[in-house]
Every structure is written in C-alpha cells, then in structure tokens.
C-alpha cells in the first residue's frame, strides 16, 4: 500500500497530567512529575516511606484506576482523530498489562490477613488490547507486544506494517504500564534506581526512576481529500543486540544500526533529521550506549536531542507511545523540550542533550527506544 501514513490523533495520561496538553505545558517550563507515589496504595512502603516515581495524578477507586487511565488516553486520541473510516486494528505495547490487579488484590487481602502471601493468578498481558478493542469496537487485528521497554515502540512499527499491508485502515496504538511492586522493587533489587530524580546523560547519573501512564496514537492511511494530520509516520527498524544479556553494546554500534535502519526504511538521510527523542533512562550503560550511537550516526554535532524520563519517569513498555505523544505534542506547540535533570556533560559520551527548550524545527524526527535484553527500536516521523 503506497499511501502515506498519517498520525491523526493522540492522547496521554502521564505523571505530568491527565491530557497531552497538560503535559506539554509542564514540559515547556521544565517541570518534573517525579513525586512520592501517594495514590498507588498497593505499593509497599519501605521503612515507612512511599516509593518515589512518576505517578499519574489520577484519583479514584484503586481497582478501577488502571482501566480509567487507558480509557482517558484512548478517548483523547479518538476525539482528536475524528470519525473512523474502514477497519480499525488495536496494537498494544505493555510490560505486564493489568497484572497490577494482583498487587491491588493483595493490598485488600492484607487488610484482613496481614500475613497473606503475594499471588499472581492474573490474566495475560493481552487483556489491555481486549479492553480497548471492546471500547472502540475494533474489527481488525488485535495484537499485544510485551518486549520490555520497547513494547509500544514495536507496536507503532507493527501498526505501520499492518496499515501498509492492508489488514486495517486505521490503527489505534496503545502503550500502558502502571507502577507495581514487581517492577518498582525489581529495579531496586538490580541497583538500577537513583534515590534522587533521575539525570539522563548526566555525568553523575545514578539510575532510573519508574513512571506510569498510557499513551495512544491513531495512525491511518492518508485518504484522497483528507486533511493531513500534523505528522507522517515514515519507517522503522527493530534490532536485537546479542552482545549482552541485558542491554546494548556500550560502543553504540547497535544503537547506530537501528537508527540508520529506521532512516533507510524511511528513505531519508541523517542530514534530514532535525530532532531526536532519546530513550535516556539515566542508567550508566544505557545512556552511554545511546549517546555514543547518536554520535556515531550524526557526528559530534547531532540534531537537538532530549530524554523525557527526567520529567515523567521510565514508563517501561508504555514509554515508546507515551513519549512519542508528548514529543509530538511539544512539536505541535512549537518547541522541542529540554532534557530535564541533565546538568553536566559526560566526556565518555561526548555529546550533550538540550538544556533548555528550543523552537521546533520542521523536518524528520527520530524516536528511540531501547529495552532490557538488548531490544532496540527506532522510527521516524516527518512534519506533514
């Protein structure tokens, strides 16, 4: 299918707000959303203190909170996109879907039995996709990707493949993950969490902070006479780095390969790229690999790049979609956001992210996602 792909709508719930507009306004002024997680009662305190991270400002019934989060983001994206046409598919990226239900069930059980043991009698990660498909009345493919932190970026790439292949006319792409004990304390046990707000690409970076939320993009084949959306979705690439059991080669070679692969698939050159949405977790090796990969691709003076995780935390499988929505929202609002938390350059990386917001240039924008286990995804978007 040769018709261009158009991103016609998006929505997000994140630590910076319940809508994209709220998050964009916060990013414009460099606001952080990393706070003690007071709304997530199911998270176990340590030494009497609540876990720290990017908690979405969504109140209400604890058990309904995950589904409300997804519903709000879907509704925002569909309202922006307008009426559906043809067959709609659903493509979800998530680390664990609604497995947080196990945490919530244990939280309530322990009110009556403090000795209750953790339980994981939960449904599979595909439940989010099933819920969204019912919500929007999808008649096309319903697919879930659970591949660590690249999950929803892979879902975006897969949606484009289905659209070009003709299995659907419209794709609703969802990235969702919630703060949960398994992930919060799992990353702590790996000594990958900074006790302070994270500092992506900074020389003193000491780890990540987790976040939560839902990001949704609506992608369609451009139709004759259709008013173009703000952005065209171009090409993508997916690579698995086998040099390490957990991450990507710190020389940046795999990062370079996946970015160049996405550009080649998009039929654009590195010189046409005007901004890079970096993955930037704030961990030592991840930022080293990505920074060096960006430098290997674009040289010592790369396009403006930044990580959003200093503002919203690392939302794991949801990161690709949430960060794409917020980056596109910022571009539409006329600026590229700063890399919040960055202060001092790392000479081992050799390049530095944005320290202040700048006017948004027009051209090609690259979106990076890198995951535990060496999963690497990049895709490109162009101003329409």
Neighbouring-strand partners of residue 379: 236, 367
For residue 165, is pLDDT > 90?
yes
Q: What is the mean pLDDT of the chain?
A: 93
- Tens digit of pLDDT for each residue in 37-81? 999 999 988 788 888 999 999 999 999 999 999 999 999 999 999
Spatial separation of the C-alpha atoms in residues 10 and 171, rounded to whole Å: 12
Does the predicted TM-score (pTM) go above 0.85?
Answer: yes
Spatial separation of the C-alpha atoms in residues 92 and 187, rounded to whole Å: 23
CATH of the domain at 340: 3.40.47.10
Position of tokens 């794991």? 316
Sequence-separated (6 or more) residues with CB below 8 Å from residue 251? 289, 292
Nearest C-alpha neighbor of 212 from the set 13, 61, 11: 13
CA pseudo-torsion sign 37, 43, 47, 53: negative
Whole-angstrom CA distances from 261 to 236, 327, 378 are: 7, 21, 8
Share of the chain above pLDDT 90, in %: 79
Q: Where are the beta strands (DSSP E) in the chain?
A: 5-13, 35-36, 52-53, 88-93, 142-145, 170-177, 213-221, 231-240, 273-278, 305-307, 335-336, 358-359, 364-371, 375-383
For residue 254, is pLDDT > 60?
yes
Q: Got the DSSP string for 235-262?
A: EEEEEE--SSSSS--TTSHHHHHHHHHH
Neighbouring-strand partners of residue 368: 378
- Tens digit of pLDDT for each residue in 117-132? 766 555 678 999 999 9
Query: In the structure, what pLDDT confidence band is assigned to residue 116 with cuts at 50, 70 and 90?
Result: confident
Total number of domains constituting the chain: 1
CB 181 within 8 A of CB 44: yes
CB 3 within 8 A of CB 43: no
Copy the structure tokens of residue 287. 């930022």
Helix (H, G, I), strand (E, B) or coil at 127: helix
Q: Got the DSSP string for 291-341?
A: HHHHHHHH-SSPPPEEESHHHH-B-GGGHHHHHHHHHHHHHHTTEE---TT
Spatial separation of the C-alpha atoms in residues 155 and 162, rounded to whole Å: 10
Query: In the structure, what pLDDT confidence band is assigned to residue 1 with cuts at 50, 70 and 90?
Result: very low
Determine the structural domain holding residue 124 and report its residue range: 5-383
């Amino acid at each position: 299918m040769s018709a261009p792909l158009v991103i016609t709508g998006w929505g997000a719930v994140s630590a910076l707000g319940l809508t994209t507009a709220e998050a964009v306004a916060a990013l414009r002024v460099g606001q952080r959303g990393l706070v003690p997680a007071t709304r997530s009662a199911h998270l176990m305190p340590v030494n009497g203190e609540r876990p720290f991270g990017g908690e979405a400002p969504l109140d209400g019934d604890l058990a309904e909170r995950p589904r409300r989060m997804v519903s709000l983001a879907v509704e925002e994206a569909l309202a922006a996109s307008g009426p559906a046409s043809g067959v709609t598919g659903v493509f979800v990226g998530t680390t664990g879907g609604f497995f947080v239900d196990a945490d919530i069930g244990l939280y309530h059980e322990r009110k009556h039995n403090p000795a209750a043991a953790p339980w994981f009698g939960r449904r599979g990660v595909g439940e989010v996709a099933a819920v969204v498909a019912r919500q929007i009345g999808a008649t096309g493919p319903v697919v879930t990707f659970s591949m660590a932190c690249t999950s929803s970026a892979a879902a975006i790439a897969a949606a484009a493949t289905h659209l070009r292949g003709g299995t659907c006319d419209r794709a609703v792409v969802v990235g969702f993950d919630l703060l949960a004990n398994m992930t919060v304390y799992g990353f702590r046990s790996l000594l990958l969490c900074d006790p302070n707000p994270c500092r992506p690409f900074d020389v003193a970076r000491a780890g990540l902070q987790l976040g939560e939320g839902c990001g949704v993009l609506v992608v369609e084949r451009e139709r004759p006479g259709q008013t173009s959306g703000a952005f065209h979705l171009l090409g993508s690439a997916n690579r698995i780095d086998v040099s390490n059991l957990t991450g990507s080669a710190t020389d940046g070679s795999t990062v370079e390969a996946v970015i160049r692969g996405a550009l080649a698939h998009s039929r654009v050159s590195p010189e046409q790229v005007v901004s890079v949405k970096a993955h930037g977790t704030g961990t030592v090796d991840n930022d080293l690999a990505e920074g060096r990969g960006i430098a290997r691709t674009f040289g010592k003076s790369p396009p403006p790049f930044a990580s959003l995780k200093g503002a919203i935390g690392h939302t794991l499988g949801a990161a690709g979609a949430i960060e794409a929505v917020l980056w596109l929202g910022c571009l539409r609002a006329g600026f590229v956001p700063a890399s919040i938390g960055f202060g001092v350059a790392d000479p081992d990386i050799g390049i530095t992210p944005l320290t202040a917001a700048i006017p948004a240039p027009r051209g090609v924008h690259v979106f990076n996602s890198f995951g535990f286990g060496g999963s690497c995804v990049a895709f490109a978007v162009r101003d329409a």
